[in-house]
Structure 1
Amino acid sequence: MLSGACRRLTLALLRTRAQTSAVTRRCLHASGSRPSADRRKKAEEPPCAFDPALLEFLVCPLSKKPLRYEASTNELINEELGIAYPIIDGIPNMIPQAARMTTHQTKKQEEMEQH
């Protein structure tokens, strides 16, 4: 019984994927865009830069404290918690699971474990 339900779900997902790609093709055709031209443009353009003016509005989702932009790593840093949120194509990924521990915080944890 479960395998039948899984099979139906898989078929439904495959149909949805096919419909989505057909819709995408129609939208691209209607707008005059061509996927190959878009790929060439992306290769020529530099990656989107983060706008530091956004720091006025962005806070850490965990501590609700302001963040600091680190240009060398292209991350938003929470000094208090010692975590860094990546910025991908100019968009901050503020999902806590996507954040990494900074070396500063890692050193603090190692010191606390030694005592």
Structure 2
Amino acid sequence: MLSRACGRLASVLRRTLAPPSEVARRRLHASGSRPLADRSERAEEPPRTFDPALLEFLVCPLSKKPLRYEASTNELINEELGIAYPIIDGIPNMIPQAARMIHQSKKQEEMEQR
């Protein structure tokens, strides 16, 4: 069962990875030897999007519970803890310090009504 899950994760990751030519361009850019013509191509590239198939493998690092993808805010949501992890260039930032609190106003309203 574990090997099947690892195989599925590998196939999802292969689909989300940039093609080798893009990786080579990034390395050239990092070394500073990228021609000016290639710099204009980068502006035309669409932003990388999050692959929802990864939700099968990702869990909250704090509660170890499944996460929900919110496309409108481009975040992974943990409803139980009320936190949202940002997704930057298609890559979830699962560092708890980078997460933002959600539902604070709702919780405060509930407390005031009691």
For the criterion TM > 0.5, the same-fold answer is yes
- C-alpha distance after superposition, 1:29-68 (max 9, x if no partner): 9x9x616445322210111000000000000011100000
Q: Which amino acid aligns with 1:108?
A: K
Structure 2 unaligned segments of length 5 or more: list them.
1-26
TM-score by length of 2: 0.64
The separation in 1 between residues aligned to 2:38 and 2:109, in whole angstroms, is 47
* Corresponding residue pairs, total: 86
Partner of 1:6: none
Matched, 1:101 2:101: yes
The separation in 1 between residues aligned to 2:35 and 2:52, in whole angstroms, is 31
- C-alpha distance after superposition, 1:14-39 (max 9, x if no partner): xxxxxxxxxxxxx639x9x6164453
Matched, 1:81 2:87: no
Percent pairwise identity: 88
The separation in 2 between residues aligned to 1:67 and 1:108, in whole angstroms, is 20
Match of 1:53, SS state, is helix
Partner of 1:5: none
Structure with the higher helix share, 1 or 2:
1
TM-score by length of 1: 0.63
Partner of 2:91: 91
